[in-house]
Amino acid sequence: MAISHNALMGAKESIEIAAKMLQLAIDEAEGFEKVPQGGGDYDPPIPVPEPEPEPMPEPEPVAPGLPAGYLAKNFKLSEFRCKCGGKGCNGYNGLSEAQAAAATKPLAELLQKGRDEINRRHPLGGGKERAVNIVSGYRCAYENKKVSGEASSRHVTGIAADVSTPGIDTGALWDELNPNGGVGYGGKNCPHVDTRGYRSRWKY
C-alpha cells in the first residue's frame, strides 16, 4: 500500500514534536533532581559573604604630638574652614587638608600663644579658660565676595583669621605678639591676625 508524501511529512512532523516534548520532560526531570523540593540531601547555596569594607585609615594627626585634626593645643584645622558651606569651596579654598594644615599651622601656633597669654593676663579661675574664637578663617572667592573682602586677602591662602575673645580687647596683644605679620584692628572687637611674614597694621 502506498503512503502519500503528505502523510509521510505529517508523520515526520509529529515525531519531531514528540521528540521536542520528550526533551523538555527530560530537562524538567533533571532540573527537579538538581533542586529537590523540601528536604533530601540538598544543601542550600551558601551565601557569598559581602566583602568586608576596607577599614577607614586613621586620619593622620596634622601636627605631631597633638590629637588628630589639631594644629595647636586649642586649635583644630576645622575651626578655620571657610564659611561658604560648600557653595564656593571644599572648606580650604581648594587645598587638601594636608596642604591647609601646613599653610595654617604657623597661624594656629600664633593664636595659641595669644590664647595662653590672654588667659595668663585675664584669668577666669575655676579651671575655666577664655577661648579665641575663629570668626573667619579660610575664604574662597565666593565667601570673600560675600563679606566684601579684598581679593588679595590673606584669608584666601589660609594664613589669616579674624578672632574674637568675648569681653577682652585683644588688638594690642596681637600687635605685641605678631611683630612680623599683619594685624587689622576690627571695629567689633574682632581683630584680623595673619602670618604674612612682614609687619603690617591697619584699621578696618
16 — phi, psi (to 5°)? Answer: -65, -40
- Cα 92 from chain centre: 11
Rounded to whole angstroms, how far apart are CA atoms 111 and 196? 14
Q: Is 162 in the site for Zn ion (CB under 5 A)?
A: yes
Distance between CA 127 and CA 14 in Å, rounded? 100
Q: Which stretch binds Zn ion (CB under 5 A): 3-11, 72-80, 89-97, 105-113?
A: 89-97
Q: Which three cell numbers stand for residue 197?
A: 611674614
Q: Which three three-digit cell numbers place residue 66?
A: 597633638
CA dist 85 and 127 (Å) reads: 34
Q: What are the backbone angles phi and psi of residue 157, rounded to the nearest 5°?
A: -105, 5
CB of residue 142 to Zn ion, shortest distance in Å: 6
Does position 79 interact with Zn ion (CB under 5 A)? The reply is no
How many CA atoms are closer than 13 Å to the CA of 155, on its beta-carbon side?
30
Q: How far is the CB of 56 from Zn ion (least distance, A)?
A: 25
Least distance to Zn ion from the beta carbon of 112, Å? 18
Closest CA relative to residue 154, chosen from 187, 197, 114, 102 = 197
* 89 near Zn ion, rule: CB under 5 A: yes
Total of residues contacting Zn ion (CB under 5 A):
8
- Residue among 101, 111, 140, 190 that touches Zn ion (CB under 5 A): 140
List beta partners, residue 162.
136, 192
Q: Looking at 82, 95, 103, 108, which residue binds Zn ion (CB under 5 A)?
A: 82
- Least distance to Zn ion from the beta carbon of 195, Å? 12
Selected range binding Zn ion among 56-64, 68-76, 101-109, 136-144, rule: CB under 5 A: 136-144
Give the amino acid at 132.
V
* From candidates 100, 111, 143, 183, binder to Zn ion by CB under 5 A: 143
Does residue 132 touch Zn ion according to CB under 5 A? no
Closest CB 65 distance from Zn ion, rounded Å: 29
- In the region spanning residues 13 to 72, those forming contacts with Zn ion, defined by CB under 5 A, are none
Residue among 36 and 85 whose Cβ is closer to Zn ion:
85
- Which stretches of the chain bind Zn ion, using CB under 5 A? 82, 84, 88-89, 140, 143, 162, 192
